[in-house]
Amino acid sequence: MADPQEILAARVQSALGAALGAEFAETDPVIRPSQFADYQANAALALAKRIGRAPRDVAADIVAQLDVDDLCREVEISGPGFINLTLRDDWIAAQAQALLSDPRAGVPQQDPETVAIDYSAPNVAKEMHVGHLRTTVVGDALARVLEALGHRVVRQNHIGDWGTPFGMLIEHLLDAGEDSPEAELVKTDPNAFYQAAREKFDDSAEFAARARKRVVDLQAGDPETLRLWQELVDLSKVYFNRIYAKLDVTLTDSDLAGESTYNAMLPGICEELERTGIAEISEGALCVFLEGFTGREGRPVPLIVRKSDGGYGYGTTDLATVKYRVEQLGARRLLYVIGAPQSLHLRMVWQTARKAGWLPEGVDPVHVQIGNVLGSDGKILRTRSGKPIRLMELLDEAVERATTVVADNRPDLDEATRASIARDVGIGAVKYADLSVSHDTEYVFDYDRMLALTGNTGPYLQYAAARIRSIFRKGGVDPASAEGPVVLTEPAERELALALLGFGPAVAAVGATLEPHRLCSYLFDLAQAFTAFFEQCPVLQAADPAVRESRFALIAATLQTLVAGLDLLGVRAPEQM
Ligand code: ARG
């Protein structure tokens, strides 16, 4: 697909070389969207300073060499030396029309790279909280977008499935019985199970002693203990998968690569770090001291890779994730979609891995920082009684509220249809609200705002898509059969067609910046361009059949783009609303 900005950049760049000499052939032509034309090239201003000439003269020389007759209707030098570029209507029309027969819906195919994405990562026998909701939703959108751009994505769900709490969890499971209702709680209300284990641990010395002994057995690989541990992990998987199914998240059991996956690698990691002198023993623990990581009073902060009791920590397993993803998965990009507070931890891990040679030149790990989700009081979202919110309840409430909205708007639909729409709208609203703000900022969780049918919300975009579908239904036309030709006469038609060409570039921008909110902004702009178009340009009522065909093609391309865009965000577009 044609990205006008990219094509214009290439053309202006070669004009630059022709006008000013080969040494300028690589100069960035600085193409930007313009207020006075479709785009403007700003390069002449900076270049003029460099070569000591008047900017308007430099611009004139560039324009003299510029060959854009096939795609621009007007090229104009304006102000101090901007080159204004206005696209030809027939060019825009042809590009918009070509979208309809493009199986990639305008998304460019990039040189494939292997990308490992660490996301979601809940903990076994614990409730997923809103922080996990956000890393799950953002990580999944990134996985979908990078796949659409042609990359090989390896999802890595780094669940917390190892460590000392498993001693008490296993003992509690044994006390309750493996087939007991208490054990069932791990599938439905994991915190209740965890809390009960915790209370026993705090109250009973006998239980605590058993739990401690269990941790030793677990680490020693005692088969019966491992079986019980596996039982807990399996029960938790049921819970995770219920949440993932409810959220329409692409994670499956084959993406699970929890902390325990790396157990066998940990002694070797410590051994190598010690042998190469990267780690040293300090107060009995094996530590890596890195330059620039200091705490209070300038005291060095270590990355502890082996505790004084011989146990390994969170840092050690994360070192193993780097090694595994680079060496075994062949990943060239490593994304860690994790809460912002873990930034220090990750930087220490990566710097250590770099020193040890596990992170070769050219492989860049990225922390996709996830900001907090806040309640209306501006504090971390909690229930009224101060407990952490149960994710399942949060999602169920979104669907419930959407049910009311749908019941109000569409009393004509049968119950089953309404329920399915409510589900798509409720879940879509929560996911979209999460994705439409930059992933590293905090946002206030607000059902009313996220479910609103106006503004940059999931329901607004779903509604735009449903409206287009209803136009086709009313006209008795299948959107798949709309093929134009697209002819642009009204300004609102031109605006919509031009907006359609922005989809591929918007998806590419998400792949490059790892910021899904860019795709949301794009889709919101597109939906607004459609709304403006629809107010000014009747489709079914258009008197001229050629205009009707053209408008059908335009809205079919809009529908295709909205649906494809929402799908990349993991949001469903219901048939009607
Ligand atoms: N399980 C951790 C938590 O719930 C998140 C793990 C993130 N991934 C990682 N490779 N450290 O906070």
Q: State pLDDT tens for residues 67-112.
A: 999 999 999 999 999 999 999 999 999 999 999 999 999 999 999 9
Beta partners for residue 378, in sequence order: none
Give me the domain span that covers residue 76: 4-87
Q: What is the pLDDT of residue 99?
A: 96
Residue 485 preceded by cis peptide, ω within 30: yes
The residue count of the chain comes to: 577
Are 576 and 421 a contacting pair, CB within 8 Å?
A: yes
Q: How many helical (H) and strand (E) elements, i.e. helices and strands, does the chain have?
A: 21, 13
* Cα–ligand 1 centroid distance for 306 (angstroms): 19
- Asked whether residue 355 is domain-assigned, the answer is no
* Cα–ligand 1 centroid distance for 426 (angstroms): 27
Of all residues in the chain, the percent with pLDDT exceeding 90 is 92
Q: How far apart are CA 120 and CA 156, in angstroms?
A: 9
CATH number at residue 21: 3.30.1360.70
Phi, psi of 336 (to 5 degrees): -115, 105
Q: Please provide the average confidence, as pLDDT, over all residues in the chain.
A: 95
Pocket test for ligand 1, best of 118, 329, 347 (most atoms within 8 A of CB): 118
Q: Is the pLDDT of residue 158 over 70?
A: yes
Atom 2 of ligand 1: nearest residue by CA position: 121
- Asked whether residue 10 is domain-assigned, the answer is yes
Q: Is the pLDDT of residue 273 over 80?
A: yes
Q: What is the pLDDT of residue 168?
A: 97
Q: Residue range 2-27: average pLDDT?
A: 92
* Cα–ligand 1 centroid distance for 133 (angstroms): 13
* Cα–ligand 1 centroid distance for 266 (angstroms): 17
Instruction: Please list the alpha-helical segments (H only) found in 366-457.
Output: 391-409, 415-435, 447-450
Chain center to CA of 399: 22
* Cα–ligand 1 centroid distance for 195 (angstroms): 20
Residue type, 324: Y
- Asked whether residue 309 is domain-assigned, the answer is no
CB atoms within 10 A of CB 531: 16
CB atoms within 10 A of CB 405: 19
Atom of ligand 1 nearest to the CA of 321: 10
Atom of ligand 1 nearest to the CA of 346: 11
Q: Is the pLDDT of residue 1 over 60?
A: no
Q: How far apart are CA 331 and CA 143, in angstroms?
A: 14
- Asked whether residue 70 is domain-assigned, the answer is yes
Q: Is the pLDDT of residue 310 over 60?
A: yes
Side by side, which strands form the sheet with 31-33? 31-33, 39-41, 82-87, 72-78
CB atoms within 10 A of CB 461: 26
Domains of the chain: total:
2
Among residues 178, 205, 240, the one where a domain terminates is 240
The half-sphere exposure of 91 on its side-chain side, counting CA atoms within 13 A, is 17
Of all residues in the chain, the percent with pLDDT exceeding 70 is 100
The half-sphere exposure of 344 on its side-chain side, counting CA atoms within 13 A, is 10
Q: Residue range 115-120: average pLDDT?
A: 98
Q: Residue range 462-487: average pLDDT?
A: 96
Q: Is the pLDDT of residue 386 over 80?
A: no
* Cα–ligand 1 centroid distance for 420 (angstroms): 33
Pocket test for ligand 1, best of 126, 256, 342, 372 (most atoms within 8 A of CB): 342
Q: How far apart are CA 406 and CA 400, in angstroms?
A: 10
Q: State pLDDT tens for residues 315-341.
A: 999 999 999 999 999 999 999 999 999
Are 419 and 558 a contacting pair, CB within 8 Å?
A: no
Phi, psi of 369 (to 5 degrees): -75, 130
* Cα–ligand 1 centroid distance for 157 (angstroms): 9
Q: What is the pLDDT of residue 379?
A: 87
Q: E-assigned strands of 61-198?
A: 72-78, 82-87, 114-118, 152-156
- Asked whether residue 45 is domain-assigned, the answer is yes
Q: Is the pLDDT of residue 302 over 70?
A: yes
Question: Residues 6 or more apart from 52 whose CB is under 8 A from it?
Answer: none
Q: State pLDDT tens for residues 34-56.
A: 999 999 999 999 899 889 999 99
Pocket test for ligand 1, best of 314, 338, 346, 366 (most atoms within 8 A of CB): 338
Residue 414 CA: distances (Å) to CA of 269, 427, 562: 60, 20, 26
Atom 6 of ligand 1: nearest residue by CA position: 121
Atom 9 of ligand 1: nearest residue by CA position: 158
Tell me the torsion sign for CA atoms 476, 478, 481, 486: positive
Q: How far apart are CA 145 and CA 330, in angstroms?
A: 20
Q: Residue range 434-452: average pLDDT?
A: 95
Q: State pLDDT tens for residues 528-569.
A: 999 999 999 999 999 999 999 999 999 999 999 999 999 999
Q: How far apart are CA 26 and CA 32, in angstroms?
A: 17
Atom of ligand 1 nearest to the CA of 126: 4
Q: What is the pLDDT of residue 376?
A: 87
- Asked whether residue 437 is domain-assigned, the answer is no
Q: Is the pLDDT of residue 220 over 80?
A: yes
Give the helix/strand (H/E) hosting 31. Answer: strand 31-33
Q: Residue range 463-487: average pLDDT?
A: 96
pLDDT confidence bin for 139, thresholds 50/70/90 = very high
What residues does ligand 1 touch, defined as CB less than 6 Å away? 118, 121, 123, 158, 160, 318, 321, 336, 338
* Cα–ligand 1 centroid distance for 212 (angstroms): 24
Phi, psi of 474 (to 5 degrees): -60, -40
- Asked whether residue 77 is domain-assigned, the answer is yes
Among residues 87, 117, 146, the one where a domain terminates is 87
Q: Residue range 440-462: average pLDDT?
A: 96
Q: Are strands 114-118 and 82-87 parallel, antiparallel or unpaired?
A: unpaired
Among residues 43, 62, 87, the one where a domain terminates is 87
* Cα–ligand 1 centroid distance for 335 (angstroms): 13
Question: Residues 6 or more apart from 481 whose CB is under 8 A from it?
Answer: none
Q: State pLDDT tens for residues 349-371.
A: 999 999 999 999 999 999 999 99
- Asked whether residue 427 is domain-assigned, the answer is no
Residue type, 559: L
* Cα–ligand 1 centroid distance for 320 (angstroms): 13
Atom of ligand 1 nearest to the CA of 342: 11
Atom of ligand 1 nearest to the CA of 318: 10
Atom 8 of ligand 1: nearest residue by CA position: 158
* Cα–ligand 1 centroid distance for 119 (angstroms): 8
